Amino acid sequence: MIRASRNSAKRNRVKIDNFFAELKRRNVYKVAVAYAIVGWLLVQIATQVFPFLEIPTWIVRLVIMLVAAGFPIALVIAWAFELTPEGIKRTEDVDLAASARQPRKYTWIFVVIVGAALSVGLFFTGRYTGRTTTSAAGSELPAKSIAVLPFESLSEDKSNAYFAEGVQDEILTRLAKVADLKVISRTSTQHFKSAPDNLPQIAKQLGVTNILEGSVQKANDQVRVNVQLINALTDAHLWAETYDRKLTDIFVVESDIAKTIADTLQAKLTGSEKIAMAKKPTENPEAYELYLKGRFFWNKRTAADLRKSIEYFNQAIAKDPGYAQAYAALAQSWKLLPAFNGGAPNDCFPQAEAAAKKALALDDTSSTAHAALASLKGLNGFDYPGAIAEYERTLQLNSNDATARQWFANDTLANVGQTEREIAELKRAVELDPLSLVINSNLGVAYIHAGRLDDAIAQLRKTVELDGAFYYSRYNLAQALELKGVIPEATAEYQKTMSITEDPVPLGMLGRLYALHGQKDEALKILQKLREKREQGYTAAYSLALIYVGLGDRNEALNWLEQGYREHDGFNIGPIRVDPLLAPLHGDPRFDALAEKIVPAREFGKAVTQK
């Protein structure tokens, strides 16, 4: 029995040895190696060359699938047929002895070597030229950069326009969490239509290589989302997809789009970024729609629209009390209201702080909530070390948040005298949001803080050219011109500002300028107007203080500055040590005592640590 077993094993071994010998005799090995090399060459041509010829991506996929499917077929043909001097014959019909006597041919080896050389060369040439083409065509534009253009709303119900904006915003937000990507903020992309003709020009203006276009159609609980990713420099379509889903699946769609874009652009994702990108913020579709409506009005940035956004965020929270994203957005709305003369800081900031803390209790990774809390630590509590720590945490979570960088620079770094870092953060914010009027304006303000008046004037003029109706850039340009000593032009800019808005701060600046240059009666008229506005509702005490500085009444100026401190007006009182319009008060004991309460001298002009 043992002998029979051994004989059986021996026969099996012989069969296996014969099988491998037969594979070798039938040239199956040679065909496998040659096919792999040539197949790889075809795949390299498809992936490296086709995009530059604007060949659709489905053809690239088809080539790859055909190459993969052809491999087993090639092996079967190699087994079943043999190439002889008389032509192709079935292997069974070939004389084995005659075949063995044929001289060995090494042509296949040369084919393999040449094919391999071409494949490797094409691979590295494609990678190298791909990078250099992007650099040359786009003035060193990063390959891993993207702008998400406004999504077109195809819904028959025109009131659903907010939904298309919201889907665009959510995809952008998920992409922005990837530190390896440069993602342009919504403020800049909203300047363009959904599917523009001049993509290369837009890409250059925004400083990106890639553009995402899309459309959204919503009917009851059904949603269709079309997207296409385009290399704007070559006009190559990198990826496109259509999603037909129920409203309850919209988060899966948004997450899948963001993940596919990151993969297509070869962005490296950390574990936490993958989790953040796939996160489902709420299970309640009604709450989500209310949240999107809130974001729609938040993006308009007026006092009335911010109030509407607060209403919608509160409704979203009522539908889902665990909706951290809605609490975070609510915090930012309350925080911004005083800046747009929509409420008193003492009324708005506590509401904002409560909402931010609730958001973080629900989700400590919410960069939006961390940004709101960071800003409030400075604006409301004058706790700048705490604000710096919170902002640094915010930017760890979302390095693409241009708004957070702007707030960090404007509300905190400026106030503690870290001027170089203030400028650096604003320059980075401009890269991420190049057409943002407020960010470009604040870069000009940072130059004023640094004493670089020529740079400030140039930057602010450029911003005014972007939109002459944006009054914040106008009155800061007026301030820079005034400090430069160009009084007639400064006066004209202040007056143009007041033809656009009734904001009390630039009105106070104009009153101060009148008082300093012999137009006391005009200054007193403005002062009276501001007093009347104070009686009707909140008006920044700082605006009245400025006029008293111009009139030379230091005591009354300080009374109003101290009132601003009591009212927690961090927007205007926070920069007390760097505000050039308050320079005449420097050295006054009351002024120095107030400045010490806001920014202690030990914290000014140097990196500070949390208290």
Lowest mean pLDDT among 123-132, 336-345, 404-413: 123-132
What is the C-alpha to C-alpha distance for residues 295 and 278, in angstroms, rounded to an integer?
A: 20
**Interval 55-79: pLDDT, tens:** 655 676 677 778 788 778 877 776 6
Q: What residue has token string 């009324």?
A: 347
Question: What pLDDT shows up at residue 542?
Answer: 98
Name the token pair of 147. 């702008």
Q: Has residue 110 got a pLDDT over 80?
A: no
Predicted pLDDT at 88: 61
The segment(s) of the chain belonging to CATH 3.40.50.10070 are 145-278
Residue 546 has pLDDT above 70, yes or no: yes
Phi and psi dihedrals of 94, rounded to 5?
-90, 135
pTM recorded for the entire structure: 0.76
Nearest-angstrom CA–CA distance, 572 and 578:
11
Q: Which fold has domain 145-278?
A: Rossmann fold (3.40.50)
Helix (H) or strand (E) run with residue 153 in it: strand 152-153
307-342: b (≥16 Cβ within 10 Å) or e: ebbbebbbbbbebbeebbbbbbbbbbbbbbbbbebb
How confident is residue 51, by pLDDT bands cut at 50, 70 and 90?
low
Which residues neighbour 189 within 8 Å (Cβ) at sequence distance 6 or greater?
147, 148, 149, 150, 172, 206
Our separate counts of H helices and E strands in the chain read: 28, 8
Which pLDDT tens digit goes with each residue over 274-321?
Answer: 888 888 899 999 999 999 999 999 988 889 999 999 999 999 999 999
The two three-digit tokens of residue 46, written as one number? 């498809």
CA angle (555, 561, 562) in 5-degree steps = 90
Helix (H) or strand (E) holding 165: helix 161-176
